[in-house]
Structure 1
Amino acid sequence: MNILDTLLWGVLPYVVMAVLVGGLIWRYKYDQFGWTTRSSQLYESRLLRIASPLFHFGILAVLAGHIMGLVIPKSWTEAVGLSQHAYHFLALSIGTVAGVGTLVGIVMLIVRRRRTGPVFMATTGNDKFMYVMLLGAILAGLATTVLAVFDPNTVDYRETVSPWFRSLWILQPDVGAMAAASTSFHVHVLWGMALFAIWPFTRLVHAFTAPLHYLFRPYIVYRTRGSSPRAGSAPVRRGWEPIGTHDRDSGRRRTRPPRERSGSTSVK
């Protein structure tokens, strides 16, 4: 280890965390109206209908694979009977499919944004930089997967990157473990940290806004045309309250003429 290793793997991760959390708080406090994806579906939807689900479902699968590889220790998978060979086979097969799907999805999104005139005109410099960072992170991840298979000198990330990642959360960064990782993992991790550092300041911020309140919204209540129930029908409990003031409602009741009974005659 040297000073550079200490700065990169012992100090920089906490700087990125501070920027990420602080940026999210700042964005939520001062730019709530900008906390959006700035959807361009209105301009073009045919290609977006394919590219967007492919990218989003692919990135969710990639995220799940990273969580499994970084959070779950190697001893745990071996304890449940999952051998190292079987684990790497599953990680390689599922990770490759998820990574390729994500790559195809983002390439389709970039092509759509470049070739569709209104969408390209609505693209800012911030969006272009975000796409470059996303594409670079995906390519770096796929490169580490390929090199881990064909390069025999690649060090197992479950013995280097994973222990380092878990050590960060107990505030005891294992700098030596990360320093011993292969160069491909160094590039992938540095690019990933750069992506998280710019995350709060791009449209990627919408990933932290899950519309969970949609699951608990009340049903939409429609008002009937008539104010009085039908003859012979059971009284229905209103799901809404009339809007008005007591003096106005009482004034209406006083000025309303009394109803005459049907078929009744007056006797003098």
Structure 2
Amino acid sequence: MCIRARDTVLWIVVPYACLAVFVTGHVWRWRHDQFGWTTHTSQLLESRILRWGSPLFHLGAFGVIVGHAMGLLIPAELTHALGIPEHLYHVVAVWGGAITGVVLVVGLCLLIARRLVNGRVRRVTTRMDKVLYVALTAMVALGMTATIGENLLGGGYDYRETIAVWFRGIFWFNPDASLMAGAPVVYQLHALGGFLFLALWPFTRLVHVWSAPLAYLWRPYVVYRGRGRAVPAPQPRPEEVRDAALAASGSPR
């Protein structure tokens, strides 16, 4: 395969194929596996490590997603028009990505360790859970290598002039594969792994993010009563007893 054909497959065909699997996979999962559309939580089996690992992982993941969205979707021309210096943008992006990445790594390590050291949690871990954790580990490792190794410790790379333009072109149906051909290998692997991760998404427990319980914000509260103890009926006030007795006897008040 020639270089141009290889770049076309990697940076045009593969992204669109992964996006197609991402969309159709969710439709199939919703129609045929609604019972499995859940987090499959194992909190009842172990909560001590989960109490720390889950918030750190979700907080770090949220920060990483927001950082990627800002870096890939916001053109450099817009930040320049807003008067944001390139050096300031670079410092905020690199250090913000490094901090949120470290939080994500700590949370992910705790969740993986929990699956390994706790026997009950390990027994309920499915094969797809293991694939998901391997994919997450690979994605995080590549992202941290690009952020810290390439930008923070290395000479830096202006991905907004190449990778971000290619990424936005995918959604405009006009991707330029040549922009990715000259990018550093770690960025290429991270971008390719990101789309492959999207293709894996519908078949994992990650589908639960589309079912955020927003209705809990406005639905009425639920009262739970114990099964073994009877709830005493409210006692009427003395004036209510008097009025009821007068009404039964027909006597005027």
TM bracket, shorter-chain basis? 0.7 to 0.9
- Deviation for aligned residue 1:225: 4.8
AA aligned to 1:262 is: S
Question: Aligned-pair distance for 1:229?
Answer: 10
Q: Which has the higher contact order (CA 8 A, sep 6+)?
A: 2
Across the aligned residues of Structure 1 and Structure 2, the Cα RMSD in angstroms comes to 2.6
Q: How does 1:1-268 map to 2 (within 5 A)?
A: 2-145=4-147, 146-152=149-155, 155-220=157-222, 225=233, 261-262=248-249
Distance change >3 Å, CA 262–CA 45, structure 1 → 2: same
For residues 106-149 of structure 1, give each alpha carbon's deviation from its aligned partner in whole angstroms, at most 9, with x where no partner exists: 01111111101100111111111110000110110000112123
Report Cα offsets for 1:140-180 as digits up to 9, x if no partner.
0000112123333x541111110011111111112121222
Question: How many angstroms apart in 2 are the aligned matches of 1:104 and 1:261?
Answer: 72
Q: So what's the TM-score if we normalise by structure 2?
A: 0.86
In our comparison, the structure showing a higher alpha carbon Rg is: 1
Residues 76-111 of structure 1: per-residue CA shift (max 9 Å, x gap): 111112111111110111110100110011011111
Is the alpha carbon distance of 1:117 and 1:194 closer, same or farther for their aligned partners in structure 2, counting shifts above 3 Å? same
CA distance in 1, matches of 2:79, 2:248: 83
Deviations 1:204-238 (A, max 9, x none): 1112221122223235589x957x99966xxxxxx
Q: Structure 1: any 5+ residue segments left out of the alignment?
A: 233-258
C-alpha separation between the residues in 1 aligned to 2:214 and 2:17? Answer: 30
Aligned partner of residue 94 in structure 2, secondary structure:
helix
- 2:228 maps to none
Secondary structure of 1:7's match?
helix
Residue matched to 1:245: none
Name the residue aligned to 2:227. Answer: none
Distance 1:62 1:170 in 2: 24
Distance of 1:2 and 1:98 partners within structure 2: 36
State TM-score, norm by structure 1: 0.82
SS for the counterpart of 1:261 is helix
Deviations 1:46-91 (A, max 9, x none): 1110010000000000000000000000111111121111111101
Alignment identity in percent?
Answer: 46
3-state SS of 1:27 partner? helix
Give, in whole Å, the separation in 2 of the partners of 1:155 and 1:94.
Answer: 16
Residue identity opposite 1:100 in structure 2: V
Q: Distance in 2 between matches of 1:41 and 1:189?
A: 33
Give 3-state SS (helix, strand or coil) of 1:2's partner: helix
Label 1:118 to 1:155 Cα distance change in 2 as closer, same or farther (>3 A). same
Aligned residues: 238
Deviations 1:17-71 (A, max 9, x none): 1100000000011000101111111011111100100000000000000000000
In the TM superposition, what whole-angstrom CA distance separates every residue of 1:187-208 from its partner, at most 9, and x where no partner exists?
Answer: 1011111111111001111122
Unaligned runs of 5+ in 2: 225-231, 241-245
Deviates further, 167-176 or 95-104: 167-176
Q: Which amino acid aligns with 2:16?
A: Y
